[in-house]
């Protein structure tokens, strides 16, 4: 197993929620990463952010690891959930709330409801 693969595995198994993104949760470097980080931040999710722009090996490594061609990528309890479009759809449908609840991830339900109200 490559060093990048091992680092990815260690990160997703060591954290309940991980977002591989361009930039950081405080300063996203692309619109898609900003959207997903914005949802997680607004819902008060405690998550690890991994800036793939800081390491080209990691940037390609996460795409190979998940067999998913784009960034950002969200993992919950070690499982790949999806990228920006999937997370947006799951947020608006309430599926993301269910996923977090079923996995014991604390989130602000009221904030999640507000996102849906604003986009309904």
Residues of each annotated binding site for [2Fe-2S] cluster: 30
Angle, vertex CA 81, rays to CA 79 and CA 84, nearest 5 = 150
Annotated binding residues, written as ranges, equal: 30
Dihedral sign for Cα atoms in the order 92, 82, 60, 10: positive
Report which secondary-structure segment, H or E, holds 79. strand 79-82
Tokens 């989130």 -> residue? 107
């Amino acid at each position: 197993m490559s060093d990048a693969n091992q680092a990815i595995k260690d990160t997703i198994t060591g954290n309940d929620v991980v977002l591989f993104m361009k930039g950081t949760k405080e300063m996203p470097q692309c619109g898609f990463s900003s959207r997903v980080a914005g949802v997680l931040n607004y819902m008060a999710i405690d998550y690890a952010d991994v800036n793939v722009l800081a390491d080209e090996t990691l940037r390609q490594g996460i795409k190979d690891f998940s067999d998913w061609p784009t960034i950002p990528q969200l993992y919950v309890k070690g499982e790949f959930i999806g990228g920006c479009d999937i997370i947006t759809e799951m947020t608006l449908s309430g599926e993301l709330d269910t996923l977090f609840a079923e996995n014991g991830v604390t989130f602000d339900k009221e904030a999640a409801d507000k996102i849906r109200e604003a986009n309904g």
